[in-house]
Chains A and B, each alone.
Chain A
Amino acid sequence: MNKQKIDSRPASPKPWYDPRIRAIFFQTVVIALVFWGGWTLVDNTLSNMESRGISTGFGFLDETAGFGIIMSMVPYDATMTYGRTFWVGLTNTLLVSAMGIVTATIIGFILGVARLSSNWLVAKVALVYVEIIRNIPLLLQIFFWYFAVLSSLPSPRQSIDVGGALFLNNRGLYVPEPLTQDGFGLVWGALISAIVGVVVLKKWAKKRQLATGQIFPVFKVSVAVLVVLPILAYVVAGGPLEWDLPALKGFNFGGGISIIPELAALWIALSLYTASFIAEIVRSGIVSVSKGQTEAAKALGLPNGLTLRLVVIPQAMRVIIPPLTSQYLNLAKNSSLATAIGYPDLVAVFMGTTLNQTGQAVEVVAITMAVYLTISLSISLLMNIYNRAVAIKER
Chain B
Amino acid sequence: MNNTKSIAVGAALLCGVLAAPFTSAATTLESVKEKGHLQCGVTSGLPGFSQPDDKGNWTGIDVDTCRAVAAAIFGDAQAVEFTPLTAKERFTALQSGEIDMLSRNTTWTLTRDASLGLNFAGVNYYDGQGFLINKGIGVDDATQLDGATVCIQSGTTTELNLSDYFRAKGMEYKPIVFDTSEQTVQGFSAGRCDVLTSDRSQLAALRSKLSNPDSAKILPNTISKEPLGPVVRQGDDQWFNIVKWVLSVQINAEEMGVTSANADEMLKSDNPGIARLLGTDGDMGAKLGLPDDFGYQAIKLVGNYGEMYDRNVGPDTPLGLDRGVNALWTDGGVLYAPPVR
Does B327 lie at the interface of the complex (its beta carbon under 8 Å from any beta carbon of A)?
no
The count of chain A contact residues (Cβ–Cβ below 8 Å) is 56
Contacting pair A30 B155 (CB below 8 A): no
Measured CA separation A225–B234 after assembly (Å):
71
Does any Cβ of A come within 8 Å of B210's Cβ? no
Within residues 251 to 277 of chain A, which ones have a CB less than 8 A from any CB in chain B? 251-252, 254, 261-262
Chain A CB count within 10 A is highest, among B22, B91, B116, for B116
CB atoms of B175 and A67 under 8 A apart = yes
Q: Given the interface contacts A52-B95, A68-B162, A355-B88, does A251 sit within 8 Å of B194 by beta carbon?
A: yes
Chain B nearest CB from A74 CB (Å) reads 17
Does A68 lie within 8 Å of B173, measured CB to CB?
yes
Encode B146-175 as 1/0 by CB contact (under 8 A) with A. Answer: 111100001110011011101100000111
Answer whether A40 and B19 are a contact pair too, CB < 8 Å, given A250-B146, A251-B194, A261-B192. Answer: yes
- A67 in contact with B160 given A33-B12, A251-B148, A353-B154 (CB within 8 Å): yes
Contacts of B111 in A (CB 8 A): 357, 359
> At the interface, yes or no: B92 with Cβ under 8 Å from chain A?
yes
Within 8 A of B (CB), among A68-98: 68-70, 78-79
A252–B190 CB distance below 8 A: no
Contact of B11 among A34, A171, A344, A358 (CB under 8 A): A34
B115 and A27 form a contact (CB under 8 A): no
Residue A322 lies at the interface, judged by CB distance under 8 Å to chain B:
no
User: Which residues of A sit under 8 angstroms from B174, Cβ to Cβ?
Assistant: 68, 70, 252
Complex alpha-carbon distance, A30 and B23, angstroms: 27
The one of A51, A54, A348, A361 that contacts B154, using a Cβ cutoff of 8 Å = A348
Tell me if A180 is interfacial: C-beta within 8 Å of chain B. no
Instruction: Among B154, B156, B194, find the residue whose CB has the most chain A CB atoms closer than 10 A.
Output: B154
| Interface residue from A26, A41, A55 paired with B8 (Cβ < 8 Å) | A26
Complex CA gap A40/B214 in Å reads 59
Query: Which residues of the other chain, B, contact A66 by a CB distance below 8 angstroms?
Result: 160, 163-164
**A197, CB-defined interface residue at 8 Å:** no
| Cβ contacts under 8 Å, A357 to chain B | 111, 155, 159-160
Select A37's contact among B18, B116, B192, beta carbons within 8 Å. Answer: B18
Say whether B110 faces chain A, with CB atoms less than 8 Å apart.
no
Q: Which residues 116-162 in B have Cβ within 8 Å of A in the complex?
A: 116-117, 137, 145-149, 154-156, 159-160, 162
CB neighbours of B190 from chain A (8 A): 147, 150-151, 170
The answer on a CB contact under 8 Å between A254 and B147 is yes
Of the listed stretches B53-61, B176-184, B260-268, B277-285, name the one at the interface; the rest are far from the partner chain: B176-184
CB–CB B233/A52 < 8 A: yes
A249 CB–B CB distance under 8 Å: yes
- A contact residues around B178 at 8 Å (CB): 341-342
- Chain A residue with the shortest CB-CB distance to B234: A53
Residue contact A68 to B23, C-beta cutoff 8 Å: no
A207 smallest CB distance to B (angstroms)? 56
A54 near B116 (CB under 8 angstroms)? yes
A172 to chain B, nearest CB (A): 10
Closest to A252 in B: B147
Kindly state whether residue B26 has any CB partner on chain A within 8 Å: no
Instruction: List, in ascending order, chain A residues with CB within 8 A of B159's CB.
Output: 67-68, 353, 357
Chain B 24-48 per-residue mask, 1 if CB under 8 angstroms from chain A, else 0: 0000000000000000000000000
Q: How far apart sit A393 and B64, CA to CA, in the bound complex (Å)?
A: 73
Determine if A339 and B95 form an interchain contact, defined as CB atoms under 8 angstroms apart: no
Q: Inside 8 A of B12's CB, which chain A residues have their CB?
A: 33
B87 contacts partner chain A, Cβ-Cβ < 8 Å: yes
Which of A26, A53, A355: most chain B Cβ within 10 A? A53
- Tell me if B154 and A19 are in contact (CB < 8 A): no
Instruction: Quote the shortest CB–CB distance from A71 to chain B (angstroms).
Output: 9
Instruction: Tell me the bound Cα distance from A356 to B111 in angstroms.
Output: 11
Q: Is B341 interfacial (CB 8 A cutoff)?
A: no
Task: List B contacts of A54 (CB < 8 A).
Answer: 95, 115-117
Across the interface, do B19 and A27 meet the contact criterion of CB distance under 8 Å? no
Which residues of A, 337-358, contact B by the 8 Å Cβ criterion? 339-342, 344, 348, 352-353, 355-358
How far apart are B233's CB and chain A's nearest CB, in angstroms? 7
**Is A284 an interface residue, CB under 8 A from the partner?**
no
A49 CB within 8 Å of chain B: yes
Q: Which of B191-212 contact A (CB under 8 A)?
A: 191-192, 194
Which chain B residue shows the least CB distance to A151?
A: B190
A53 to B95, CA, bound (A): 10
Contact B162 A70 (CB under 8 A): no
User: Nearest-CB distance from A269 to chain B (Å)?
Assistant: 16
A51 touching B235 by the CB < 8 A rule? Answer: yes
Q: Tell me, in angstroms, the Cα distance from A51 to B161 when the chains sit together.
A: 31
Selected contact of B192 from candidates A23, A170, A348, A358, CB within 8 Å: A170
Is A221 positioned at the interface, with any CB of B under 8 Å from its CB?
A: no
Contacts of A352 in B (CB 8 A): 88, 154-155, 177, 179
Tell me whether A124 is interfacial, beta carbon within 8 Å.
no
Say whether A44 faces chain B, with CB atoms less than 8 Å apart.
yes
Q: A250-B148, A252-B149, A262-B176 are in contact. List 10 more A-B contacts (CB 8 A).
A: A23-B4, A51-B235, A53-B235, A55-B115, A68-B174, A170-B192, A249-B147, A250-B146, A251-B147, A359-B91
Q: Which 9 A-B pairs have the closest CB atoms?
A: A356-B155, A54-B117, A33-B11, A53-B117, A250-B147, A55-B115, A359-B116, A26-B4, A52-B117
29 A–B contacts from the bound complex (CB under 8 Å): A33-B8, A33-B11, A34-B11, A49-B117, A51-B235, A52-B234, A53-B235, A54-B95, A54-B115, A66-B163, A68-B159, A68-B163, A68-B174, A69-B175, A78-B163, A147-B190, A170-B191, A171-B192, A250-B147, A251-B148, A251-B194, A252-B147, A252-B174, A344-B177, A353-B154, A355-B88, A356-B87, A356-B88, A357-B159
